[in-house]
Chain A
């Protein structure tokens, strides 16, 4: 995973199109393939959206991709504000808020810590630094199921059991492995001379970080934010295990909602709820996807 952001300053060159098939046939082929694949990739989302706008009768009668005859947002409104989850009938909106309360600080703290760590690993050499970095990296790969019980014990000792700060802590701990890797691999591409010069000028540890490094590192900040935001937002396992009652994130509520079927499954509501729960991360990917790629390229795999 390190190579993903492995150094090569040349790689950041911003002209696309390594090779072109110049013939007309080639273009048709390229667009044809892309359009077909895009359709396949979009179909699930599309059918989810269409289904959420239909009435139950229409769902039973029609097919996956037929357009709703009279689009209705009734299902959306219902799952947002009125659906019953257990005995509480307030829809998803409260849980949606919880997710933001968890995601925003967790993302911010883990990205900040990752940036500091990455800076240390990249520019302040010390004995065994690669070994320690490797140890942190391996943390990216730990299956989360095995940490549940010991983590629960730890949170209990810290007095954070069942609270939102507790959940934030968990996400930060397992997030810094990734963010440290992102930043370290990005910062390592910055020429060492810049630091030497800055130090000669008397700039201290933090001055170098904030004045020199941070201004040039926004692509990797974006990558880290996207990565952490989606990871934390989509988490179910930690949320269900470490959050008490009213603190549960939206994924847990969504799971409760789609498993709450009163005889006949209300597919339109399931789909609307799934859409609502997925909206923030989809928006982030659509809005910031270009930065994501640019961030990957900035520390891209070297040629």
Chain B
């Protein structure tokens, strides 16, 4: 017993000494949820880049559920007055944090580096508040992709579907042959990723704008929306029985290995494809999700900057400048599967899918069809977004009728407003 107390006392004094942790000059602490293979490699690029400039990187990864645990940790850190230097946030979350007046100011760096000219307006809308740069965009992701195992399609004489009707025909054929048509993970955000695609694919970009971005009640309560849920019900029949709770990257792995033919997922899937040694555009085809050609849904990972003490500002500014430098934007996005958040980065090093993404982005900007993704936090604040998640995922996982789903959707959205 006595020795035990001695050990305890020793440990207590030890922990006290560790806690008075001395921070080296120019340290940045970054909270993020990029722990998956391709993603972690992408963060590694940034870490190395900063270390070359003498800024040491203190990693604070919090994995799980598209950043839900990370969000809790961030709130606790900010409430305690000890925010990290920067935190990974999605667009609407940046807005919500900015509205609370809790973000720092990067305008001096932004002016120096000339960010205003190179970042698309749709993204600036999230990064800049009241004329102040408060967050830096790391990438532009496009969630409305359909990934196809080329070999499975070739073996069965199939063509990539261009509309949801074609998709159903293709999927039925695959199912007949005993192949899982669609790799999917049953998590609310993944269900809603599909929902976004179906809303655009069946209703068109104008309908998406009205129903999702503006929450126009007549659009929400329309026959088109009923059709959207009808299609969701069909899709439910095309996934394997073991889909519940599966992580997205495991679903991607199914497509890579040919265990399933297709996946509806954002271009971050490419990170996993490349890591597995397959070639996007060759082994795994990338086409716009059925019916969404010409529309560019987007989501962007931002590093939101928090007000930090004088001693850490220099490091924070270096971090921001690094993130926005063309060389980093290129290097990072090559690994991550997305495209650079500044439009002046040449695309020649990127794979065919990313090049298509860049071209589509320009076209969509011109035609006004570059729109924030609901599933990925660029359309509605968290409360409403999750209220829609609830309905989509409940419909997908039950035998709820499409009419009931529409009624539930309107109810849910109204009560979350």
Contact = CB atoms under 8 A, between A and B. Distances in A.
Q: Touching in the complex, A and B, CB below 8 A? A: yes
Nearest to B27: A245
A240 B67 CA distance: 12
A87 B38 CA distance: 11
Contacts of B77: 152, 161-162, 241, 244
A244 B272 CA distance: 29
A165 B16 contact: yes
Interface in A104-157: 104-105, 107-109, 148-149, 151-153, 155-157
Interface stretch (A191-199, A256-264, A271-279): A256-264
Interface string A233-254: 0000000111011111000100
B19 A88 contact: no
Contact of A101 (B11, B79, B253): B11
Given A101-B11, A264-B250, A148 B76 contact: yes
Contact of A244 (B5, B32, B43, B84): B84
A156 B250 contact: no
B8 A259 contact: no
Contacts of A264: 250, 253
B14 to A, nearest CB: 6
Nearest to B31: A245
Interface residues of B, number: 52
Contact of B18 (A164, A259, A265): A164
A255 B63 contact: yes
Nearest to B59: A86
A152 B76 contact: yes
A259 B63 contact: yes
A104 B8 contact: yes
A218 interface: yes
Given A88-B59, A245-B58, A263 B276 contact: yes
B346 interface: no
Contacts of B275: 262-263
A226 interface: no
Nearest to B276: A263
Interface in B66-82: 69, 72-73, 75-77, 79-82
Contact of B59 (A87, A148, A151, A165): A87
B165 to A, nearest CB: 32
A49 interface: no
A4 interface: no
A5 interface: no
Contacts of A161: 77, 80-82
12 contacts: A86-B61, A87-B47, A87-B59, A104-B12, A156-B80, A161-B80, A162-B82, A247-B21, A256-B61, A262-B36, A263-B37, A264-B253
Interface of A: 84-88, 100-102, 104-105, 107-109, 148-149, 151-153, 155-157, 161-165, 168, 218, 240-242, 244-248, 252, 255-256, 259-265
